[in-house]
Structure 1
Amino acid sequence: MNAWTATPAPVVPPRTLPPQPLLPPVKVLHVITRFYAGAGGNTLLTALGMDPDRYEVWVAGVPGDDLWERAAAEGVHTVQIPGFRDFLTPGDVLVLWRLVRLIRRERFTIVHTHSAKGGFLGRLAARLCGTPVVVHTFHAISFHDHMSPWRRALYRSLERMTSHLAHAYLAVAPRLALEAVRQRLAPPGRVDVVPSAVELAGIPDGFDPEARRTLGVPKDIALIGTVGRIVHQKAPLDFVRMAALVHARYPDTAFVIVGDGQLADDVRRLAADLGVDVRITGWRPDAARLAAGLDVFVITSLYEGLGRALSEALAAARPVVATAVNGVPDLVEPGATGLLVAPSDPAGQARAVGWMLDHPDEAAAMGSQGCARVRTAFSQDAMCAAIDACYCRLLALPGRTR
């Protein structure tokens, strides 16, 4: 440790000092494709959790997403860029120009990018403006089988083209960092792991009877559920197939999806065809709390950077069954914090859920261990401290105690 690495306690209480000058903050711009759900929630918590005496935080991205209003209400500078979409379009040339104009006008010291498209446009704009520090976070790897081959190749090429434009890379899970290096999206040795935080204050640290009452299922019925958007990534039809198999063996079970999305009607039709009742709540602002009313929390995703809903379910000490994709195995350790299953395997998922129902004591113990892990390592303070340390290293600033 040197003289600059810690701030000594004040000798005189600040309120008794004469007026002191305000030091200029470090201006940070987050560029994100979609300001909602996992990556968006992570970015919002980062923006809100950084030391306001040191950082002035801005967020720019696709207009109309869920988190803009809250971010602005809590003091974050927000810029919804006209024409910015969550997929590539010819209009991205204009979006790039608008980003360049914003960065030049506000003279940001740090541009921190998120997601494939936001990362490509943000890093390119930062380079064109000569931004001193550029950081990119991998929340997930976006090249998946559901994409057409040409689109998958295009996104991968764009990520690789800009891989040399960031001074540091962050990933929300170790296996995600490994995948980024393997796919040559980031140089070896340049990726640090910073677990994605969840808002722990609103999540019970155990089963919540009130959440169960809100879901309308008696406590003597085993409730299996999930939380998330009902879209291709989450494989909601696999959840329905799993539910039908579980219900055939365990009749005293109920199933719920807390969320909404473009495949909601497909879920309802398949559930009716298979003769299983799967309730869809629609979007709920209290989704993280409702997860505390489940007996088993299930993720059937085809890909998942880490899974914000998964972290929230573990924070509520819920037994979890999750697909072994991307960074999920870094959080769900078989027999310790949950059970892993293969993606696109409803029969295997049903067997794992059945095991949890047959072994309630062991399931509860895994939920408790998962809760302890998330509440220790996945707090907002822990995440922001790690990001602050990254920024300080790149700017040669001394560390601070918030």
Structure 2
Amino acid sequence: MKNRIRVLHVAQAAGGVDRYIRMLFKYMDHDKFENILVCSHDFKRVDYNGLADAFEHVDMQRPIGKADIDAMKAVRRLIRKYQPDIVYAHSSKAGAIARVANIGLKKNGDKIKCIYNPHGWAFNMRCGKKKQMIYTAIEKMAAPFCDKIICISEAEKQSALDKKICKQDKLQVIVNGIDIEEYEQRKIAGLSTVSRKSCGIPESAFVVGMVGRISEQKAPDVFIKAAKQIKQKISEACFMIVGDGPDREMIEEYARENNIALFISGWVENASDYISLFDVALLLSRWEGFGLAIPEYMLAGKPVVVSRVDAIPEIVKDTENGLLVKPDDIDGTSNAVLELYKEGALQMKLRNKGMITVHEKFDVKRTAKESEMLLNSVITSRNQLR
């Protein structure tokens, strides 16, 4: 294939970024774009068979340290090797490494363009003011070394403007999406091997679930404390967390001490199969760049209870397609779940409206198409400068 736009993607953090890149590669036009992935060892080569035109591992570590210099040198060598038209950096760490690595590099006499997608600003995390200041300073210093910054929600764009990361014209909102087509094909084919029985959950149980890393951001402590209150009112309630993380042991211990029926799946590839077992789906994040689990819940026809933070109210309109609660609000969370348990008509309304919302707004095919348009515009702007 001739004259394809060659894009070299650089990524350090796996998880949601990994899923995003795979969906992007799947739905981008392969006749027009050549996608090369340079990534940390958290990514698996086998996952990109048939998706990536080339795949390279580089030792990129999450903590800031001397190893970053070696990572920058390695990425710079690979940029020189592949001679891309555009370097596309994903997430904060890879964003810093790739943007510095690309400084001064050219292809056929033209500057190699660079775009950056933070996938959620690091300075929005709930951490100390000193760390927030450091993350903000890094983003400000690195911003001049890219041509466009992609924000996955309007809230992310506003955060960048509030922190004066860059001028508004450098920011481009491309809202996140999920793979609706894959979900529907999997459902029709009946590929799921997950059942309530296989998870040790009674068929008659009222299942309250969440998908996400068991860590401070996703507030599993609020989830399990709300579970205690819910269990007191709904005797048949059982609880499920699809994911894993550093706070797992603490959450399991609390569940044992309070006689809460809790199933934790660990890391799985087929989260949608577990979501199908939920009666109510929760995402109680303390900060959130987007909240990809929410449209996944909606696609499965589950009523949602979610925290009112960052980008989440862009997805969920309270009492229209879900219920919003304040972050860290244990009572509000348990009351919202109890309301859904009692009000079948409300459940049905939220399910129906949620499914309409995800089909209208959050299909990853739209995300891929808008990404293609941005990549084309970046190349066009370069050609106009010749």
TM-score (ref. length: structure 2)? 0.90
Assess, with a 3 A threshold, how the Cα gap between structure 1 residues 187 and 105 changes in structure 2: closer, same or farther. same
Assess, with a 3 A threshold, how the Cα gap between structure 1 residues 296 and 160 changes in structure 2: closer, same or farther. same
Which runs of structure 2 are paired with 1:293-332 in the superposition (5 Å)?
A: 293-332=277-316
2:102 aligned residue: 126
Which runs of structure 2 are paired with 1:66-145 in the superposition (5 Å)?
A: 67-72=44-49, 74-82=51-59, 84-130=60-106, 131-144=111-124
Which runs of structure 2 are paired with 1:320-359 in the superposition (5 Å)?
A: 320-359=304-343
Q: Deviations over 1:205-236 (max 9, x none)?
A: 89x99754544434432110011221222111
Paired with 2:102 and 2:351, the residues of 1 have a C-alpha distance of 43
1:24 aligned residue: 3
Q: Is 1:48 the equivalent of 2:26?
A: yes
The letter for the 2-side match of 1:312 is E
Paired with 1:280 and 1:388, the residues of 2 have a C-alpha distance of 38
Q: Give the counterpart of 2:353 among 363, 366, 369.
A: 369
Mean CA deviation greater in 328-337 or 164-173? 164-173
Q: Give the counterpart of 1:162 among 131, 139, 142.
A: 142
Q: Could you say what secondary structure the match of 1:217 adopts?
A: coil
List gaps (5 residues or longer) in structure 1: 1-21, 398-402
Alignment check: 8 A CA contact 2:126 2:287 kept = no
1:181 aligned residue: 161
1:13 aligned residue: none
Assess, with a 3 A threshold, how the Cα gap between structure 1 residues 120 and 373 changes in structure 2: closer, same or farther. same
Mean CA deviation greater in 84-93 or 162-171? 162-171
1:287 aligned residue: 271
Alignment check: 8 A CA contact 1:318 1:364 kept = no
2:127 aligned residue: 147
1:391 aligned residue: 375
| Root mean square deviation of aligned Cα | 2.2
Assess, with a 3 A threshold, how the Cα gap between structure 1 residues 360 and 185 changes in structure 2: closer, same or farther. farther
The letter for the 1-side match of 2:140 is R
Assess, with a 3 A threshold, how the Cα gap between structure 1 residues 47 and 202 changes in structure 2: closer, same or farther. closer
Paired with 1:229 and 1:125, the residues of 2 have a C-alpha distance of 31
Alignment check: 8 A CA contact 1:159 1:185 kept = yes
Q: Is 1:217 the equivalent of 2:176?
A: no
The letter for the 1-side match of 2:377 is R
Offset of residue 202 of structure 1: 4.2
1:39 aligned residue: 17
The letter for the 2-side match of 1:102 is L
Alignment check: 8 A CA contact 2:25 2:52 kept = no
The letter for the 1-side match of 2:338 is G
Q: Could you say what secondary structure the match of 2:144 adopts?
A: coil
The letter for the 2-side match of 1:96 is M
Assess, with a 3 A threshold, how the Cα gap between structure 1 residues 209 and 55 changes in structure 2: closer, same or farther. closer
List gaps (5 residues or longer) in structure 2: 382-386
Assess, with a 3 A threshold, how the Cα gap between structure 1 residues 94 and 319 changes in structure 2: closer, same or farther. same
Which runs of structure 2 are paired with 1:226-245 in the superposition (5 Å)?
A: 226-245=210-229
1:201 aligned residue: 181
Paired with 1:153 and 1:61, the residues of 2 have a C-alpha distance of 27
Q: Could you say what secondary structure the match of 2:76 adopts?
A: helix
Offset of residue 334 of structure 1: 0.5
Paired with 1:176 and 1:212, the residues of 2 have a C-alpha distance of 37
Paired with 1:377 and 1:295, the residues of 2 have a C-alpha distance of 23
Mean CA deviation greater in 294-303 or 44-53? 44-53
Q: Could you say what secondary structure the match of 1:368 adopts?
A: helix
The letter for the 1-side match of 2:232 is A
Mean CA deviation greater in 340-349 or 372-381? 372-381
Offset of residue 306 of structure 1: 1.1
Assess, with a 3 A threshold, how the Cα gap between structure 1 residues 219 and 123 changes in structure 2: closer, same or farther. same
Paired with 1:374 and 1:172, the residues of 2 have a C-alpha distance of 15
The letter for the 2-side match of 1:64 is D
Alignment check: 8 A CA contact 2:125 2:287 kept = no
Tell me the matched-pair count: 372
Paired with 1:363 and 1:276, the residues of 2 have a C-alpha distance of 24
Paired with 1:159 and 1:56, the residues of 2 have a C-alpha distance of 28
Alignment check: 8 A CA contact 2:86 2:114 kept = yes
Alignment check: 8 A CA contact 1:62 1:86 kept = no
2:235 aligned residue: 251
2:171 aligned residue: 191
Paired with 1:110 and 1:162, the residues of 2 have a C-alpha distance of 17
Alignment check: 8 A CA contact 1:304 1:326 kept = yes
